[in-house]
Amino acid sequence: MKRITTTAAFLCLCMLLIAQDLQLRGRIVSGKEPVEFANVILQTKDSIFISGGITDQRGRFNMNNLQKGNYQLRISGLGYQTQQINLNDFTATLDLGSISIDSAAIALEEVTITANPVINQPDRKIILPSARQLKTSTNGLSLLQRLQLSRIQVDLIRQTITSSNQGDVQLRINGAKVEIQEILALQPEDVIRIEYHDEPGLRYGDNAAAVIDYIVRRHQTGGYVGFDTSTSVNTLLGNNNATAKINHKNSEWGINYHEGYRSFKNYQGEFRNVSFLGQAFFYKTGRRCP
């Protein structure tokens, strides 16, 4: 009899715990487009925090281990109007479906931003460049310098990216590994965000001190031609870069050309080293091919 009573009590406890393990999920959209990295916070009526997070690339969010009660769901995001939803008598797992939020009518030219919006995740930091940073940058390298990431040094003269940690800085565009020449070919206005792995895992290799992944827009049709040059006026030192890209549907063709020249003086006279580097690359259906 004692064993039966203990079993019944255990089953009741399990049912009580399951009954309290409620879920809340939904999807944040603006028009027909999903809103990525929107802040979703669940709080009580007197603004006590219960749970929260950010939406994924499809605008989805999911909250687990919730209890019954009366709550408020607060949705906000950079460039969007804050929206609040009352959840009265929340007693069962609920799917809110698509929740539409409106864009905020903000003139970015009149807004002074004193810090970079940074979203901290367990394995990376997501940096959203400001409108001013994008406007004043000439390529992906100068944009990175303006972001001033911790433990990252950017040398615009030598066109190098180094880390104070031991190892190399691995560069990527939309997840594909690239060289510095392709970062120099990036148009700042095409950069959506930068994902910074300051402590990358072993999947990036043993010698990766940091990983910087540029997430950029993929244009369906069109293209551009760009030039970037820097030359010293009193010595033989300079860098010249030329790039061209053409997009059509899921295909992208591009070519980069880099020319660098240096002059070094030593005790025996003057030594001149002129180096040239050209690189062509081809993209197909979002995948980088040799």
216-254 pLDDT, tens digit per residue, is 987 666 666 666 666 666 666 666 666 666 766 666 666
Closest residue by Cα to residue 217 from 190, 186, 177, 251: 190
Q: Output 46 or 113, whichever has higher pLDDT.
A: 46
Res 169: pLDDT: 96
CATH fold for the domain made of 18-100:
Immunoglobulin-like (2.60.40)
What confidence category does residue 42 fall into, taking pLDDT thresholds of 50, 70 and 90? Answer: very high
The CATH architecture to which 108-216 belongs is Beta Complex (2.170)
Query: What's the token pair of residue 38?
Result: 């929107």
Res 203: pLDDT: 86
Closest residue by Cα to residue 166 from 210, 135, 132, 128: 210
Percent of all residues in the chain with a pLDDT value above 90, rounded to a whole number: 39
Which residues belong to CATH 2.170.130.10 in the chain? 108-216
Which residues belong to CATH 2.60.40.10 in the chain? 18-100
Mean pLDDT, the chain, rounded, equals 78
Positive or negative, the CA dihedral 187, 106, 119, 54 is negative
Res 235: pLDDT: 61
C-alpha–C-alpha distance, residues 71 and 83, integer Å: 14
Q: Are 95 and 109 in contact (CB under 8 A)?
A: no
**Whether this model's pTM surpasses 0.95:** no
